[in-house]
Each structure stands twice: as structure tokens, then as C-alpha cells.
């Protein structure tokens, strides 16, 4: 999809083992970068530019973290009470029940019992 998008944008390239390699002149850099970013987004690929995280995203993340905390508690790990949702939001969403774990071994044991959920 990316390669087709780039061709549709007017860029030519050559096939390689890693995929299509596109070329451009130095004076075309900004135009190429724009096409590249557009085609990455259209293809659902990561552009390397972090997206803005909304409070709604953070609320969903907080709920996932509470589920992980419950799992850790149920498996015998000593995890302190979470911050309030408002504190969590005010701090930019910086809290995880895994932060209370001590040492690499305890972290691996906790991760085996309660794999960290992914949320974006």
C-alpha cells in the first residue's frame, strides 16, 4: 500500500530485498518527506511522530492500569493504592502499578502473572 501510494504521488523507485527504494533530488526533499508521511499514515504505519494523547485516552489507560493492579494484588504483590483519576490526569498519565515492584526478578514474576496490557 505504501509503495503504491508513493508511486501514485509521482515518485519512482527500484525494487530491493527490503522493498521499494525511492529516490529524489536534494531540492525535492520537503516534497518527498510530505509524500512519505502521507503514505505512511494512509498505510497505517508509524510515522515516528507521536500523536496527541487526549484525556479520554488517558482515562481508558487508567482503567486498564487498575485492572493490572487488581491482577497484581490477586497474585500476592504488594501494590499501593493508585492515584485518583484527577491526579493521574494532572500528572499527564504517569503511573503504573508496575512502578511499585522492586528489582528485575519481581518485575519478571509480575509480568508472567499479569502481562502488561497495551493501550494507546
Q: Which sequence spans correspond to the domains of the chain? A: 2-42, 55-113
Tens-place pLDDT, residues 38-68: 888 887 766 566 667 788 888 988 999 999 9
- What is the pTM assigned to this prediction? 0.56
Q: Is the pLDDT of residue 119 over 50?
A: no
Distance between CA 5 and CA 36 in Å, rounded?
9
How far apart, in whole angstroms, are the C-alpha atoms of residue 19 and residue 43? Answer: 15
Amino acid at each position: 500500500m505504501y509503495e503504491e501510494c508513493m508511486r501514485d504521488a509521482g515518485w519512482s523507485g527500484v525494487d530491493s530485498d527490503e522493498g521499494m527504494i525511492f529516490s529524489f533530488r536534494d531540492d525535492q526533499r520537503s516534497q518527498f518527506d510530505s509524500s512519505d508521511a502521507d503514505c505512511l499514515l494512509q498505510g497505517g504505519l508509524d510515522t515516528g511522530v507521536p500523536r496527541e494523547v487526549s484525556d479520554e485516552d488517558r482515562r481508558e489507560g487508567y482503567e486498564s492500569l487498575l485492572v493490572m493492579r487488581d491482577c497484581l494484588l490477586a497474585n500476592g504483590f504488594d501494590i499501593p493504592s493508585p492515584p485518583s483519576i484527577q491526579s493521574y490526569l494532572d500528572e499527564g498519565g504517569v503511573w503504573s502499578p508496575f512502578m511499585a515492584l522492586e528489582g528485575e526478578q519481581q518485575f519478571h514474576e509480575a509480568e508472567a502473572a499479569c502481562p502488561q496490557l497495551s493501550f494507546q
